[in-house]
Chain A
Amino acid sequence: MREKSWIREYGWILLTGVVVGVAALILTSAGNPKNMGFCIACFERDIAGALGMHSAGKVQYLRPEIIGIVLGSTLAAAVSKEFRGRAGSSPACRFAIGVFVMIGALVFLGCPLRMVIRLGGGDLTAVAGLLGFLAGILVGIFFLRRGFSLGRAYPVRKGEGSILPGMMILLLFLLLAAPSLLRFSEEGPGSMHAFWGISLIAGLAVGALAQRSRLCMAGGLRDVFLLRDFRLLSGFLAIWITVTIGNLLLGSYHLSALSQPIAHSQHLWSFLGMALAGWGSILLGGCPLRQLILAGEGNGDSAVTVLGMIVGAAVSHNFGLAGAADSVAADGTYVIGGIGTAGMAAVALGFAVLLAVTLAHLPGKEEAI
């Protein structure tokens, strides 16, 4: 076994994982929904709702965590002179992939980060999601090995790369100075949130550390299977372990596949939803969290992907695609939630779209259209 200076190799990523885990626990204790200290998919969905892009009344709140993550990345990149405007790598395809990554994640009721947080809360329904996520990543790796590429990005003006960070500053201004322009849930997950300052600071910390360490849920698994490298995966595991320990200490660890907060036990569709999210994340070159970080660093293609995910969230709720949590009826009957026919069709369509994009971007195929 190779011996290395493992602190230098693993220090940043482990620190990031621990901080993400602690921040998630703090945010939940401070008011965020249970097992949802962070969820990039759910929070972008809530932002879409706050802006009136969908009318699902229970999920409308302009989440400062997302703003903080992007701006934390921007600040960290600026300090280390790593902020670079880049764009031009198939932005339209990335937008579309972003839409379906979000649809897949909302079918499961969580992004890859929330998947780990749910596991850390003892939510066994997330296991199907983890297996699906892994399956999707393996499919993505299969096509990476065959030369899939969305093409390289090119340097662009820093102003171009500053658009999404600028939009985040504008959203923060709206939240603090003009809240009457936004929608706020009065019940449901959108009404559960920490004080905006705590959320913003947590997001800033996570954004900055994730920029330094390159934390990525999809990248972690990709590197294990493609490169036999465990560095990024260690961050993933650090989050899981931190959240598990924290929940055990706080008495909020419930090992069960039933009655988990904002989760459903339609395991097949959890698997397929996260398979869609996993495959899409590999095609994009990073999970939803990583897209926010890259966008904060000036990557215009990731900014377009983030916009695609927000649109995907709006589409999910406008067309009834998203999962519904399990519940208990008035007579005590356990009602399994999940998705309806529309959601199933959307997942199937998502796989078809990802396959089409993949096949169109294999070597030798780019002149076929």
Chain B
Amino acid sequence: MRKKQPRLVVAFHTTAGAIATERLCQACGMEGRLIPVPRSITSDCGIAWSAPPNLRELLEGKLQQAGIETAGLYDLLL
């Protein structure tokens, strides 16, 4: 069984926010991928960004710079 790994999950108010984050991270060469937003976070069926936890500070800065609004950053085991 694959062990769950700690991940930083960024939730968004819109799908567009998640898609924009993917584009931003790909342009910056930052690791991560789109995932369905975990049920433990919300009952909404949106899309979230999953990244290594050590990218938190860098990612927060990049998102703020790009004007991408988030609905919260969560440290989860996925």
**Partner-B contacts on A (CB < 8 A):** 2-5, 12, 77, 80, 82, 144-145, 147-153, 211, 214, 216, 219, 223, 226-227, 229, 231-232, 285-286, 290, 297, 363
Contact = CB atoms under 8 A, between A and B. Distances in A.
B1 A152 contact: no
A226 B49 CA distance: 13
Contacts of B54: none
A290 B45 contact: yes
B34 A147 contact: no
A147 B20 CA distance: 7
Interface of B: 1-2, 13-17, 19-20, 34-36, 39, 42-47, 69
Contact of B45 (A148, A149, A286): A286
Given A144-B15, A151-B14, A285-B15, A219 B34 contact: no
A255 B20 CA distance: 45
B43 A149 contact: no
A231 B43 contact: no
Given A145-B19, A153-B13, 12 more contacts: A4-B1, A4-B2, A5-B1, A12-B39, A144-B16, A147-B16, A148-B16, A214-B39, A214-B43, A227-B34, A231-B36, A285-B15
A144 B20 CA distance: 10
A229 B13 contact: no
A226 B36 CA distance: 10
Contacts of B16: 144, 147-149, 363
Contacts of B39: 12, 214
Nearest to B69: A152
B45 A285 contact: yes
A227 B47 contact: yes
Nearest 7 pairs of A and B residues by beta carbon: A152-B13, A149-B16, A149-B14, A82-B43, A214-B45, A147-B16, A219-B45
A155 to B, nearest CB: 11
B15 A211 contact: no
A223 B34 CA distance: 10
A95 to B, nearest CB: 19
Nearest to A293: B43
Given A2-B2, A4-B1, A214-B45, A227 B13 contact: no
A363 B14 CA distance: 13
Nearest to A218: B45
8 contacts: A2-B2, A4-B2, A12-B39, A147-B19, A152-B13, A211-B43, A214-B39, A226-B47
Contacts of B2: 2-4
B14 A226 contact: no
Contacts of B13: 152-153
A97 to B, nearest CB: 15
A243 B16 CA distance: 36
Contacts of A149: 14-17
Nearest to A145: B19
A313 B2 CA distance: 49
Contacts of B43: 77, 80, 82, 211, 214, 297
A226 B34 contact: yes
Contacts of B14: 149-152
Contacts of A80: 43
A226 B47 CA distance: 10
Contacts of A151: 14
A285 B43 CA distance: 13
A290 B44 CA distance: 10
Contacts of A148: 16
Contacts of B35: 227, 229
A363 B2 CA distance: 39
A86 to B, nearest CB: 9
